[in-house]
Homo-oligomer: A and B are copies of this chain.
């Protein structure tokens, strides 16, 4: 292989992941205490350096898999962070992704093994380097996306109640919505289908369980929450 660009200098590139989950009516992310210097012991996002033979998306998938043991996680790039001194160790450009998972899918053993915790986005401690900025941007982007694309289902179990879905929207967008109006809008979305299963875990009466129908969505993908 010929090298064309040898006069230019190279830089370390890492991938940092903001993993969103929804639990106890709160939007949360996974953070842990940093296990390496510099910044050992500080709260931090989970990340890793990219390898020679993998794309950015592949690196993000690898990092997500390392941490959670899960594959095919919904994931979006947030952007690249490149201040010269953003990392106290050495210059590192970080490409940030956010991911959405159902907290129930993430094994508690693995969580403990990696020393990460679900913390509500509204109650985050100061994080390592510019990680708080990353989270703020990712959260904003996710808010916008969730109102135009059916990504909320990645944060919920396959079967969910309308109240769960509503609480999720409220947690993500940070404002309460009217129950009747919310349900009216959901009814107009043909890709959210009612099953005839009932969830009785959260009320005596029981609530209908719904599910996302991807095929129906692809046929008529219009919605605006």
- Residues on A facing B (Cβ under 8 Å): 1-5, 8-13, 36-38, 49-57, 59, 77, 79-84, 89-93, 95
Contact = CB atoms under 8 A, between A and B. Distances in A.
Q: Count copies of this chain in the complex.
A: 2
A49 B84 CA distance: 14
A3 to B, nearest CB: 6
Main SS class of interface, A:
loop
27 contacts: A1-B90, A2-B89, A3-B89, A4-B37, A4-B89, A5-B12, A5-B49, A5-B89, A5-B92, A9-B49, A9-B52, A10-B11, A10-B12, A11-B11, A13-B13, A13-B82, A52-B91, A53-B84, A54-B84, A55-B82, A55-B83, A56-B80, A56-B82, A59-B82, A77-B80, A79-B79, A93-B95
Which has the most chain B C-beta neighbours within 10 Å: A11, A57, A91, A95?
A: A11
Contacts of A11: 10-13, 50, 52
